[in-house]
Amino acid sequence: MRGININAPNVAWGIDISYIPMRYGFMYLFAIIDIYSKFIVGWSISNTMDASWVLDTLKKAVHQHGAPK
């Protein structure tokens, strides 16, 4: 992301998938954060790491906040 001027909200988003250990396996937390404002624009928890789960969460964030520039 070098050379990108992030000087307002909704210019760039960051994403992360975190593993949450449970007694019998893991849960997965997918979070989307606005880089400028540090606002969580979307998140979801799942017991499986399917691409469709990530895409659905991303689509909901774009629908609510618009696509980042």
In the block, which residue shows the tokens 């997918």? 30
- In angstroms, rounded to a whole number, what is the distance separating the alpha carbons of residues 66 and 56? 14
Residue 5 lies in a domain: no
For the stretch 23-63, pLDDT in tens is 999 999 999 999 999 999 999 999 999 999 999 999 999 99
The domain total for the chain is: 1
Token pair for residue 27? 């849960």
Residue 59 lies in a domain: yes
**Residue-range definition of the domain harbouring residue 43:** 13-65
pLDDT at 3: 83
For the stretch 2-12, pLDDT in tens is 888 899 999 99
Query: Are the C-beta atoms of 45 and 29 separated by less than 8 Å?
Result: yes
Q: For residue 12, which amino acid is it?
A: A
Residues contacting residue 45 through CB under 8 Å, at least 6 positions apart: 20, 27, 28, 29, 30
